[in-house]
């Protein structure tokens, strides 16, 4: 069963996403803030992480940077109630920044449930390919060592 971590300061969002993903047979962990999410990433192997961009304290971008330091193979999906920002307005594009940091998807709230499920499925597939590739590489390396 693929495991997903949801990091969002909004209790209603966490609960709604948890119910949706559990119905689709995902294991779900919840974190109300970045530091709690980062601690979980350090102790549980996740197939995908959904991260809200605007949270008090450690925001989504800081959380993503820490996540990457701990496990750069975990795919993440950025979500935000704020629209993709027009640079001409002078405000930063946080969802765009998340994509540049490696997010497999960026969704603006409220998003379509099917879009979220598609994004999570894609992230899980990315993770499985990374892990399979790493196992294949390790297998190839060990067989080379045995032959020499």
- The pLDDT value recorded for residue 68 is 95
The region that residue 80 occupies, defined by phi over 0 for left and psi between -120 and 50 for alpha, beta otherwise, is beta
Q: Is the pLDDT of residue 70 over 80?
A: yes
98-134 residue pLDDT tens: 999 999 999 998 999 999 999 999 999 999 998 888 6
Sketch the domain layout of the chain as residue ranges. Answer: 3-147
Q: What angle do CA 30, 41, 66 make, to 5 degrees?
A: 110
Q: Judge if pTM exceeds 0.95.
A: no
Of 48-52, 61-65, 143-147, the least confident: 143-147
What is the rounded distance in angstroms from the CA atom of residue 60 to the CA atom of residue 79? Answer: 9
Is the domain 3-147 a CATH 3.40.50.720 member?
no
């Amino acid at each position: 069963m693929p495991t997903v971590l949801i990091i969002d300061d909004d209790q209603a969002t966490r609960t709604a996403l948890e119910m949706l993903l559990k119905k689709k047979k995902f294991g779900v962990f919840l974190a109300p803030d970045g530091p709690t999410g980062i601690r979980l990433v350090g102790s549980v192997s996740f197939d995908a992480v959904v991260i809200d961009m605007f949270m008090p304290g450690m925001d989504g971008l800081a959380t993503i940077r820490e996540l990457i330091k701990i496990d750069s193979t975990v795919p993440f999906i950025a979500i935000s109630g704020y629209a993709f920002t027009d640079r001409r307005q002078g405000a930063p594009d946080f969802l765009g920044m998340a994509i540049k940091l490696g997010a497999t998807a960026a969704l603006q709230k409220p998003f379509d449930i099917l879009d979220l499920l598609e994004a999570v499925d894609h992230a899980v597939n990315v993770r499985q390919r990374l892990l399979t590739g790493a196992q294949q590489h390790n297998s190839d390396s060990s067989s080379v060592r045995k032959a020499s």
